[in-house]
Amino acid sequence: MDGISGKVALATGAGSGIGRATALRFAEAGATVAVADLDEEGGEETVRLVSEAGGEAEFFAVDVSDEESVKALVDDVVSTFGGLDVAFNNAGIEGTPGPITDQSFEDWKRVVDVNLGGVFLCTKHEIPALRERGGGAIVNTASIAGLVGAADLSPYYASKHGVVGLTKSVAVEVADDGIRVNAVCPGVVDTPMVSRFTGGDDAAMEGIVAPQAMKRAADPSEIAAAVVWLCSDEASFVTGVPMPVDGGYVAQ
Ligand code: NAD
């Protein structure tokens, strides 16, 4: 993949699911990977998997909803690896399913703080580091929940629509700096987040994949492939795009 080898890549939420698969894919493409997560055990396991596959990675603890923590993360990555070239702002939480009348404002704030506030804070602190390198690429994890609506998870859907708006706005703002900013919009992906929804029940999984034309969940590596491509030089004229990787969910 052109333009990834030898680069420094930061991925948040890299202790699990899509973030872990992307950390592995960045390393496979020759990047040095900063594995960032709230969950140290998960993050260290990702580092172990990258090392086992012959790649280079280090764990960095972060709470993406805390500005001091995010600023320290970017500073630490730059001082450890000498700079930052690409960033995958992916950490997210699902919140509690239920109608808006049952949603607590506390849950709303937590979901929006992590999913949207986290992407805002990471982007804010990554851009100066990318400018120092003369350019770079950012990919934010939105979702099909950032493109269409659905009942019973309104804080999550609102936060992901916000990620799409933020991505487009910042892409316009930093285009002259040689920085591209895109979002990936996964459909249902087989990760611990989805297992929490289905409780590991096959019938529940069938129910949530049914609206996707391909009628299956993605493997996290299928999202990772799109993210690494968006970060690569092969996507050199792609910016401000919320890209569905959804087995045909939003096509219908
Ligand atoms: P996951 O639960 O497997 O992984 C999420 C990771 O984010 C975890 O390691 C968790 O510790 C970390 N995290 C949570 N809060 C954090 C915080 N405040 N600071 C730092 N790290 C934090 O979930 P996943 O399915 O891999 O989800 C990754 C992203 O993809 C999320 O943004 C999610 O909304 C999005 N997404 C997932 C799906 C899906 O079907 N799995 C679909 C569309 C979008």
57-79 pLDDT tens trace: 999 999 999 999 999 999 999 99
- CATH no. for residue 231? 3.40.50.720
Integer Cα distance of 73 and 183 in angstroms? 21
Predicted pLDDT at 35: 99
Q: Contact at 8 Å (CB) between 112 and 145?
A: no
The DSSP secondary structure of 6-69, one letter per residue, reads: T-EEEEETTTSHHHHHHHHHHHHTT-EEEEEES-HHHHHHHHHHHHHTT-EEEEEE--TT-HHH
Percentage, residues of the chain above pLDDT 90: 98
pLDDT at 180 over 90: yes
Phi, psi of 104 (to 5 degrees): -85, 150
Looking at the domain assignment, is residue 195 inside a domain? yes
The residue assigned the tokens 């690409």 is: 86
2 domain residue, yes or no? no
Q: Ligand 1 — pocket residues by CB below 6 A?
A: 12-13, 15-19, 37-39, 42, 62-65, 90-93, 114, 141, 143, 186, 188-189, 191-194
Contact 43, 21 (CB under 8 A): no
Asked if residue 142 belongs to a domain, the reply is yes
Domains: count for the chain: 1
pLDDT given for residue 144 in this prediction: 98
Q: How far is the CA of 3 from the centre of ligand 1 (A)?
A: 26
What burial letters (b/e) apply to 144-182, b meaning 16+ CB within 10 Å? bbbbbeeeebbbbbbbbbbbbebbbebbeebeeeebbbb
Residue 250 belongs to a domain: no
197 has pLDDT over 90: no
Q: Is residue 252 part of a domain?
A: no
Kindly state the tokens that stand for 8: 């420094």
- Going by alpha carbons, the residue nearest to atom 17 of ligand 1 is 63
Tokens for 101, please give them.
């009348």
Closest to 107 measured CA to CA, from 152, 66, 166: 152
Q: Is 251 part of a structural domain of the chain?
A: no
Residue 213 lies in a domain: yes
Residues 2-59 have pLDDT tens digits of 889 999 999 999 999 999 999 999 999 999 999 999 999 999 999 999 999 999 999 9
Q: Among 70, 169, 72, 76, which Cα is nearest to 117's?
A: 70
**Band of pLDDT at residue 1, cut at 50, 70 and 90:** confident
Instruction: Based on the residue annotation, tell me whether 249 is a catalytic residue of this protein.
Output: no
Which among 188, 179, 91 has a CA at the least distance from the CA of 140? 91
> What CA dihedral angle connects 95, 124, 86 and 115, to 10 degrees?
0
Q: Domain of 104? A: 8-245
Tell whether 220 is covered by a domain: yes
CA distance 108 to 115: 11
* pLDDT (mean) for 121-138: 98
Q: Which of 190, 191, 243 to mutate to test the pocket of ligand 1 (most atoms within 8 A of CB)?
A: 191
**Mean pLDDT of all residues in the chain?**
98
